[in-house]
Amino acid sequence: MKLCSTSRAAALLPVLLGILAFFIVVGPRALNPMNIAWLGDGDPATHYQGWVFFRHSPWSFPLGLNPSYGLELSNGLIFSDSNPLFAFLFKPFSALLPEPFQYFGLWLLTCFILQSWFAWKLLGLVTRDAVLRLLGTGLFLFVPAMLIRMSVHLSLGGHFMLLAALYLALRPFTPKRSLAWGTLLAAAALIHAYLLAMIALIWLADLAAHTLRRHLAPRKAVAELIGLFLLVSLCCWQAGYFSVGDDGLALMGYGLFRANVLSFFDPGTWSFALRDMPGVLGDGDGFAFLGLGVVFLFICAFAAWLQRGTAVHLKPRRYPLLLLALAGLALFAFSNNIGVGPFELHIPLPDAVVAVATIFRGSGRMIWPVMYMAIFAILYVVIRGHTSRTARILLSIALLLQVADTRSGWGESRNLFMASPAPQWPTPLVDPFWDQAARHYQAVRWLRPENYPEQWRTLAEYAGRHHLPTNAVYLGRMSTKATEAAQAVADQMVSSGQYAADTLYVLDSRTVLPAALTLNRETDVLARIDGLNVLAPGWKRCADCPPIVAADPLTLISPMKSNERVTFNVTSLATFFLGSGWSKSEPWGTWSEGSESQIILRPEAPVRSFVLEANALIAPSHTEQGLEISVNDVPVLSTRLLKAEANVVSVDLPAEVQQRIEREGVLVIRFQHADAVSPRALGMGLDPRKLAIGILALTLH
């Protein structure tokens, strides 16, 4: 009985230590379910918003569909990283929960407790000394790679699942192994795809190893393989993974968001004592600094290994497949753009391979299991290579160093978590119009539809507060085909001036100009309210809607001076003149996108001519770009661009066109791109956009 009581008391130690670490790093305010102040920026904002829309939506099948948050663009709960596991647990009680309600603070507490628990179990494979296990557990709790995610990608704070996978793989025998692995894999599938991928590879290596050692009969191994594959598939289906097709998974990024080879020793901003190492662009996603305390133990372990005071060199032979899986994860994390400090080596890969790898474009994250295995190996050597007393001293020093030195990083995160509690976010939408509009309309849409629009958080918060569906969202994946279809519908609405009567529209800077030209001024209102371009269909015919004082919509177009050369790079205000058919502006200029594009201007003086400066997408197999130019619906020039850079096109306007511009008050330049083609089709990379000209500058005369 006494032994049992002692064992239970010892089992509480990692739980208490995890709770203590949570309050040190995060603090108590995040546990307040009505406090959302700390969730108001960046990725945490979309994590929370995904839950807000999900809790108020009717149940669907699959369960993880979230149609109100994204509408036709994408609607899987998993793609807002809203932690479907917790969302499924709390949604049945939504009517009983307060407004607002967030479970992310509870999730972070769970992460700390289970990180501590599985670190304790993992170290139990090395020693039965409770003090050594507790000290080692503390080191696992202050791993920078875990802590840094907790203020950015909340679901990816679940590193405890990686420790659980390593524990199951290193444990000599696991009773009910299918149940243990199945529970872990199902939980990972309902939390985050990256965690699932890492854990699944470790499980497959463990399954193969036990089968080859004949610890597991082939029939049972096949049954486990099929059974757990079906279980994971079911969980992924219910979490909403398949709500986005293949066209939404293959994005650019593999080879950029990778791990640097020196990542274990590069502290970034997570050390007072060590300096940030020079790196290359994209290293941040593979951040895996061990921490000063673990680096100290690494030196101690290396010394012990040199003295050959431990049989550590015999242990890796027991787990060849596990080590092979970890090596594979490391290679994938390093990617084909291998960064070693500030140096980079590019290894060309077939486009098909890159396209598949890009499903996990943040490949640097795959280094985490390798990092944890390295920490475990260091602790193993220190504990087995020294006396118990010496090991306790070394681990105590290391834990003090780890906690104190990493405060350079987690101290900043704590400031975020401990922000003044608030049940709502600050919003610029203070005009009475917004409350009235929420009662009048059934949806809120951003035009032109896209992922992560500039005002997504403001509009998503507004729509969520009033229980209105919206496409103003920020999602991890979005269907390319669905987005293009939605954009085509939006372009048609704008060009025709016909909008859905039950929808409130907020327009981006490039859409407001063409919308001003086709606005039905008898029924609809286009106005700038609280800094947003609002298009309210049917507002003038609404008996209960207060009138909106709006200037002539054409005044939304800034006037342009004669003989003034304006550029169209990312920092130029002239990009507001760009209507439909243009990509995001870049430092040098702006690419056209698609077969047609337009520029809308309001000249201050009569216009006789203009000069266009542009690049063109030219390749050996695509030697020219045809360009048809119309001004205010009158064709004025047909030409071909033969140079990739610095094309100059001068356009003289007929008298008829000059008179039309003066009469209408606007100058609309429309370009037809019959030869638009994607760089991918030309073998110039993976860019799927159909490009033609890259506009540099324009001058009116």
3-state secondary structure 387-422: CHHHHHHHHHHHHHHHHHHHHHHHHHHHHHHCCCCC
Q: Angle at the Cα of 504 (from 502 to 510), degrees rounded to 5?
A: 135
- Nearest CA to 381 out of 678, 142, 136, 583 is that of 136
pLDDT band at 672 (very low <50, low <70, confident <90, very high): very high
Mean pLDDT of 552-560: 75
Secondary structure in 3-state letters for 610-623: EEEEEEECCECCEC
pLDDT above 70 covers a percentage of the chain that reads: 96
Report the C-alpha gap between 373 and 323 in whole angstroms: 9
Q: Are 686 and 351 in contact (CB under 8 A)?
A: yes
Most confident of 2-16, 210-224, 538-552: 210-224
Assess whether pLDDT exceeds 80 at residue 300.
yes
pLDDT above 90 covers a percentage of the chain that reads: 74
Assess whether pLDDT exceeds 60 at residue 309.
no
Mean pLDDT of 147-160: 95
Phi/psi of residue 429, each to 5°?
-85, 85
Query: In this predicted structure, what is the pLDDT of residue 3?
Result: 41
Beta strands 647-652 and 609-616, pairing class: antiparallel
Assess whether pLDDT exceeds 80 at residue 4.
no
Handedness of CA 312, 316, 322, 323 (dihedral sign): positive
Measured CA distances, 507 to 42, 203, 499, 528 (Å): 22, 48, 13, 10
Assess whether pLDDT exceeds 80 at residue 249.
no
pLDDT band at 602 (very low <50, low <70, confident <90, very high): confident
Report the C-alpha gap between 634 and 669 in whole angstroms: 9
DSSP three-state, residue 603: strand
Mean pLDDT of 103-107: 98
pLDDT band at 630 (very low <50, low <70, confident <90, very high): very high
Mean pLDDT of 601-630: 93
Report the C-alpha gap between 233 and 236 in whole angstroms: 5
Mean pLDDT of 449-463: 94
Instruction: Give 534's strand partners.
Output: 506, 527
Mean pLDDT of 454-474: 95
Q: Are 322 and 209 in contact (CB under 8 A)?
A: yes
Query: In this predicted structure, what is the pLDDT of residue 635?
Result: 95
Task: Between 86 and 215, name the one with better pLDDT.
Answer: 86
* Largest distance between two CA atoms of the chain: 103
Assess whether pLDDT exceeds 90 at residue 55.
yes
Query: In this predicted structure, what is the pLDDT of residue 283?
Result: 83
How confident is the model over 329-346, as pLDDT tens digits? Answer: 999 999 999 999 999 898
How confident is the model over 378-419, as pLDDT tens digits? Answer: 999 999 888 999 999 999 999 999 999 999 999 999 999 999
Query: In this predicted structure, what is the pLDDT of residue 2?
Result: 45
Q: For tokens 């840094």, what's the residue?
A: 148
Packing angle between helix 388-417 and helix 292-306, nearest 10 degrees? 160
Handedness of CA 40, 44, 50, 55 (dihedral sign): negative
Report the C-alpha gap between 280 and 259 in whole angstroms: 10
Q: Are 470 and 59 in contact (CB under 8 A)?
A: no
**DSSP conformation letters of 428-496:** S--STHHHHHHHH-SEEEEES--SS-TTHHHHHHHHHHTT--BS----S---HHHHHHHHHHHHHHHHH
Mean pLDDT of 178-185: 97
Q: How many CB atoms lie within 10 A of CB 530?
A: 13
Q: Are 447 and 506 in contact (CB under 8 A)?
A: yes
Assess whether pLDDT exceeds 80 at residue 246.
no
Mean pLDDT of 631-646: 93
Report the C-alpha gap between 360 and 193 in whole angstroms: 9
- One-letter amino acid for residue 31 of the chain: L
pLDDT band at 543 (very low <50, low <70, confident <90, very high): confident
Report the C-alpha gap between 357 and 353 in whole angstroms: 6
Report the C-alpha gap between 267 and 287 in whole angstroms: 8
Q: What does the mean pLDDT of the chain come to?
A: 91
Report the C-alpha gap between 538 and 349 in whole angstroms: 54
Q: Which DSSP symbol is given to 654?
A: P
Assess whether pLDDT exceeds 90 at residue 574.
no
Query: In this predicted structure, what is the pLDDT of residue 361?
Result: 86
Q: How many CB atoms lie within 10 A of CB 597?
A: 24
Q: Are 269 and 117 in contact (CB under 8 A)?
A: no
Assess whether pLDDT exceeds 60 at residue 609.
yes
Query: In this predicted structure, what is the pLDDT of residue 312?
Result: 54
Assess whether pLDDT exceeds 60 at residue 476.
yes
